[in-house]
Structure 1
């Protein structure tokens, strides 16, 4: 089985979307979001094509944020933006 960028990144983005949905219902997920994002950044950063994977991860989070628009609760957006900011910082380290 051949691993693809989509196959490696999508589960991580979906995990954060799930956490954002929990935040939308009132759950305190800040620590879980930060932990999931840090774990993702560590796992993707260990791959030989880490930069490509992190770019795809950032784009996936950015797309989820844009798709949510104003239709979602502020807590939902905050959870995704926290993960997005952490990923952007990590990506900047690779430059």
Structure 2
């Protein structure tokens, strides 16, 4: 079985999307988002193409945040927080 970029990133993006959905319902997920992003960057950083994977992860989160837009402000805010955290951690990886 061959690993693909989408296959490696999708579960991590879905975890953030789930946290964003919980935030829409009023849950406080800040710590969980930072933890999920840190674990993701750690896992992706172990791959031979870590730079590409991390860039794709960030791009996917940015696109999801942009598409959520103003209609889902809390959802988009969580995704944007994940992007910020991923960029900060990705620079160190």
Would you tell me which structure has more helix in proportion to its own residues?
A: 2
Same fold (TM over 0.5): yes
Q: Which runs of 4+ in 1 moved over 2 A?
A: 90-94
Q: CA RMSD in A?
A: 1.2
Alpha-carbon separation, structure 2, partners of 1:38 and 1:55 = 14
Structure 2 equivalent of residue 57 of structure 1: 57
Equivalent pairs, count: 93
Unaligned runs of 5+ in 2: none
Unaligned runs of 5+ in 1: none
| TM-score normalised by structure 2 residue count | 0.93
CA shift for structure 1 position 93: 3.5
SS at match of 1:46: coil
Cα deviation per residue 1:17-53 (whole Å; 9 max; x = unaligned)?
1100000000111111111111001000111110010
Structure 2 equivalent of residue 93 of structure 1: 92
